[in-house]
Amino acid sequence: MSGASDIASCGGSLPVQREHGQRQVFCGLAGIVWLHRKIQDAFFLVVGSRTCAHLLQSAAGVMIFAEPRFGTAILGDRDLAGLADCNEELDRVVTELLARRPDIGTLFLVASCPSEVIKLDLDNAAARLAREQQGRVRVLAYSGSGLDTTFTQGEDTCLSALVPELPEADAGGEALLVLGTLPDVVEDQFRRLFEALGIPALHFLPPRRGSELPPVGPGTRLLAAQPFVGGTAAALVDRGATLLEAPYPFGIEGTRAWLGAAAAAFGIAAARVDEVTAPAVARAERGLERYRAQLAGKRISFLPDSQLEIPLARFLQHECGMTLVEVGVPYLDRRMMGAELDWLPSDVRLTEGQDLERQLDRLRADRPDLTVCGLGLANPLEAEGLTTKWSIELVFSPVHGFDQAADLAELFVRPLNRRERLAF
């Protein structure tokens, strides 16, 4: 596949190099791994091929003691050739599943590349199945296909499907809505901080149970915890919410500014934010110290994969003293990334999209100390003597907030240490 690139300015003065060509990313089915752990009464039924089933099974692992909350309805040759009625088959599979699993409160039908190629309309199927369930189970559809997306966009399409289901907030009811999946332990830490700040009402999307959907309306202040939920944020803004401009809660600076943006939206003084966060900041400073010494001065490149690249690059440069060689993002969502872009150094090489061969050529010429990339590229690059970090690990791990700042830095120290040990 041939590639191309062009240069543009991104909002401020920072130039961004746009690339088009072959990409190397996971598909949105990967989001099921963390979404099914978060929404505990949801089931994710992928309508896809054996490849989709294998991806899901190997990424999410096998639950031995519990019934899994994800599965794949496999499209066979007859389905793909248009010889079978896929809707009939799907209805049968769903009816059997729901009869066997009364614990399911929300069923997501997840579209894949094969179901999209044969144009199986899962939105209609979800509406039909929901009617049949007569309100007992919420049935929704979203796309996890990898045809034109990167792997974290699966969460965005899933949460977007939930937005029309959210109840209308009471008139005049002011509340903070934190958007994007956070591990429960991190969510609890943030809940305590928001409560100490005096935020009047607090909700999270996704919630821990599909039956506890947060209300939304003109009094909703929206604070994104993940940079890849731009579609959901836009849908919530359409329902009256106000999106707060803030960096992401990675590292001490990002977390303090993120909490500060929420506090300011509710008229809470900056001095109160400093007072409430001081003990956690002091703990995080102590934790970061030893890793900072190991990371300072090291050169790092990000290949486009997770959409976390910009906030992580900012953290590693500002708080750990690393030098940014190239920061690649799958796509640049300026509305979600404005506050972060302001913090990047003006000489950073920022790229959007991917032309794989060109990017690898630059990487081989740069030879950074550490390369953050997708799973598929890591081993070949290691074989070329480059040290790599899997970007997907940064999505799976608890890395947000003050108490995880040191853990986040350590995730980048580990591959450097491993390489050093291998060298001796």
Site string for ligand SF4, 131-150 (x = CB under 6 A): -------------xxx----
Instruction: Give whichever of 151 and 315 is closer to ligand SF4, judged by the CB atom.
Output: 151
Q: Which two tokens stand for residue 266?
A: 């509710």
Q: What is residue 190's DSSP assignment?
A: H
Question: What does the block give as tokens for 353?
Answer: 């999209």
Phi then psi for residue 16, to 5 deg, are -125, 135
Closer CB to ligand SF4, residue 24 or residue 51? 51
CB closer to ligand SF4 out of 27 and 341: 27
Q: Compute φ and ψ for 178, nearest 5 degrees.
A: -90, 125
Return the range that interacts with ligand SF4 (CB under 6 A); candidates 84-92, 106-114, 164-172, 178-186. 106-114
For position 73 contacting ligand SF4 by CB under 6 A, the verdict is no
Strand order in the sheet with 242-243: 202-205, 175-179, 220-224, 242-243
Give the nearer residue to ligand SF4 in terms of CB position, either 141 or 310.
141
Q: How far is the CB of 54 from ligand SF4 (least distance, A)?
A: 8
Phi first, then psi: give them for residue 220, nearest 5 degrees: -85, 125
Cβ proximity to ligand SF4: between 112 and 307 the closer is: 112
Q: Give CA–CA dist 265/85, Å, rounded.
A: 52
Q: Work out how close the CB of 391 gets to ligand SF4 at its nearest, in angstroms, rounded to a whole number.
A: 17
Q: What radius of gyration do the chain's Cα atoms show?
A: 22
The DSSP symbol for 420 reads H
State how far the Cα of 203 lies from the Cα of 222, in Å rounded to an integer. 10
**Which member of 52, 129, 344, 395 binds ligand SF4 (CB under 6 A)?**
52
CB of 380 to ligand SF4, least distance (A): 19
Q: Was 52 annotated as part of a binding site?
A: yes
Work out whether 49 is an interface residue with ligand SF4 (CB under 6 A).
Answer: yes
Give the list of residues 6+ apart from residue 421 with CB closer than 8 angstroms, or none.
Answer: none
- Sheet bearing 138-143, strands edge to edge: 70-74, 42-48, 106-111, 138-143
The correct pick among 106, 112, 160, 232 for binding ligand SF4 (CB under 6 A) is 112
Q: Are 312 and 394 in contact (CB under 8 A)?
A: yes
CB of 57 to ligand SF4, least distance (A): 11
Alpha helices in 368-404 (DSSP H): 375-383, 391-396
Is residue 48 part of the contact set for ligand SF4 (CB under 6 A)?
yes
Which x/- pattern over 144-183 shows residues binding ligand SF4 (rule: CB under 6 A)? Answer: xxx-------------------------------------
113 is in an annotated binding site: yes
In the complex, the smallest distance separating the C-beta of residue 84 from ligand SF4, rounded to whole angstroms, is 19
Which range, of 109-117, 259-267, 325-333, 341-349, touches ligand SF4 by CB under 6 A? 109-117
**Which pairing describes strands 4-9 and 15-20: parallel, antiparallel, or unpaired?**
antiparallel
Q: Shortest Cβ distance from residue 145 to ligand SF4 (Å)?
A: 5
Burial class from Cβ neighbours inside 10 Å (0-12, 13-18, 19+) for residue 383 reads exposed
* 113 lines the binding site for ligand SF4 (CB under 6 A): yes
- Residue 115 or 189: which CB sits closer to ligand SF4? 115
Selected from 16, 25, 29, 310, the binder of ligand SF4 by CB under 6 A is 29
Q: Which is nearer to ligand SF4, 29 or 259 (CB)?
A: 29
Name the token pair of 144.
């996890």
The smaller minimum CB distance to ligand SF4, of residues 51 and 323, is found at 51
119 Rama sector, left if φ>0, alpha if ψ -120 to 50, beta otherwise: left
- With binding defined as CB under 6 A, does residue 51 bind ligand SF4? yes
CB neighbour list of residue 139: distance below 8 Å, 6 or more residues apart: 94, 106, 107, 109, 126, 127, 129, 130, 133
Q: Distances from the Cα of 301 to the Cαs of 18, 62, 174, 294, 379, in angstroms?
A: 16, 34, 41, 17, 16
Phi, psi of 198 (to 5 degrees): 95, 25
- CB closer to ligand SF4, 331 vs 343: 331
Q: Is 27 annotated as a binding residue?
A: yes
Annotated binding-site residues read 27, 52, 113
Annotated binding-site residues for [4Fe-4S] cluster read 27, 52, 113
Per CB under 6 A, residues contacting ligand SF4 are 27, 29, 48-49, 51-52, 55, 112-114, 144-146
